[in-house]
Amino acid sequence: MAKSVSFTALLSAAAALSVSGCTGIEGIRPDISAKPLPSRLDEIAYINALRSAYAVSDDKNCFDGKGLTAFKAKLGQGYRESADPENFLVGDICLTFKPTSSDEDERRTELTDYLTAGFGLTDLYCKRFFTVASESQQNRQFGRNLSNGVDTLVGSILTLSGAGKTAIGITNGSFGLIDGTLEGFDLAYLVGPDMPEVERLVKAEQALFKQKVFDEDGNAFPSNYLSARAVIEGYAATCSFTGMRQLVGKSVADKTDTLNQAVEDQRNNVVPPAPPPVPAPPPPPVGQPLLQTNVVPIG
């Protein structure tokens, strides 16, 4: 009996070691994604372009920001791990947004440059998110498939070694927990099987957003740097967790409305509009004989 228990423990330990060794392997899947990720030099240039909107004021009543530390989201991009990311400022100074030019064309050029830098920085961070999320999803899918395969292997080893049903049940349950945890990651980060569709929705919404801002009628174009900053925040919200959930929900709702309308039309025997008629071919040029077709020979 002692030998049987020892043999079971030995096999279980070997299986556990094989699992720990295998799960460290990352899924290798070639792709055509641009490598490396968007350049950090681009990131620096965008940030400096945004900082050009600031002006130093000598107002004695101005708040200099002393004691105010920069906020960094736990999973945020762009800030260094240590020190204040705004420590390029030497001493306590008063910062304000620069006034825009009184000339309409110059003002629009200034704000267009500012908006373009903000949109570009947002696109850079958004692209990084989807790139990292895609690679992470591939690795989690690899781990999920691996855990299911190893689950079967460990169960077979324990069965052959004479382990009881309790031990097998615990092992199976542990691998089920791993799979459930991976699914939780997919739900939390919106990187499930439809992640490419989510990215497509984000890009389409951002393109529409920029089109409205830069439209010739000027209705959505900001009038100063403060309102331009708010426009950039609205653009960036599209690639946030909340923004992506809203896009997915809207897409599903729009699709549902389309399907419901199709069902309603079918129920009411609504005939869909006929396609436009195919235009007749143009007549041959003057002087060119007509081609004879479908001529049946006689005799």
Tokens 């927990």 -> residue:
177
End-to-end CA distance of the chain: 103
The tens digit of pLDDT for each residue in 211-223 reads: 999 998 888 999 9
| Of 235 and 129, more confident | 235
CA dihedral 219, 222, 228, 232 (to 10 degrees): 10
Q: What per-residue string of b and e applies to 7-40 under the rule 16 or more CB within 10 Å gives b?
A: ebeebbeebeeebeeeeeeeeeeeeeeeeeebee
Residues, the chain, total?
Answer: 299
C-alpha to C-alpha distance for 240 and 77, rounded to whole angstroms: 12
From 244, 226, 205, 42, select the one nearest 125 (Cα to Cα): 42
| Of 282 and 104, more confident | 104
Q: Given this model, what pLDDT does residue 141 score?
A: 53
The encoded tokens of residue 276 equal: 């436009």
Q: Tell me phi and psi for residue 95, to 5 degrees.
A: -110, 140
Q: Given this model, what pLDDT does residue 160 score?
A: 43
Q: Given this model, what pLDDT does residue 119 score?
A: 92
| Of 143 and 113, more confident | 113
The tens digit of pLDDT for each residue in 39-87 reads: 778 888 888 888 888 888 887 777 766 666 665 555 555 555 445 445 5
Taken in order 211, 214, 218, 224, the sign of the CA dihedral is positive
Helices in the chain by DSSP H: which ranges? 2-22, 40-51, 104-160, 165-188, 195-213, 225-237, 241-267
Statement: residue 294 has pLDDT above 80: no
C-alpha to C-alpha distance for 225 and 207, rounded to whole angstroms: 21
Statement: residue 150 has pLDDT above 70: no
Statement: residue 115 has pLDDT above 90: yes
The encoded tokens of residue 43 equal: 């990131």
The encoded tokens of residue 142 equal: 């690899």
Burial of 135 (C-beta count, 10 Å sphere; 0-12/13-18/19+): middle
Report the mean per-residue pLDDT for the chain. Answer: 67
pTM, 2 dp:
0.57
Q: Given this model, what pLDDT does residue 173 score?
A: 39
| Of 18 and 272, more confident | 272
Q: Angle at Cα 124 formed by Cα 212 and Cα 35, nearest 5°?
A: 135
Mean pLDDT computed over 192-220? 84
Could you say which DSSP state residue 293 is in?
Answer: -
Share of the chain above pLDDT 90, in %: 14
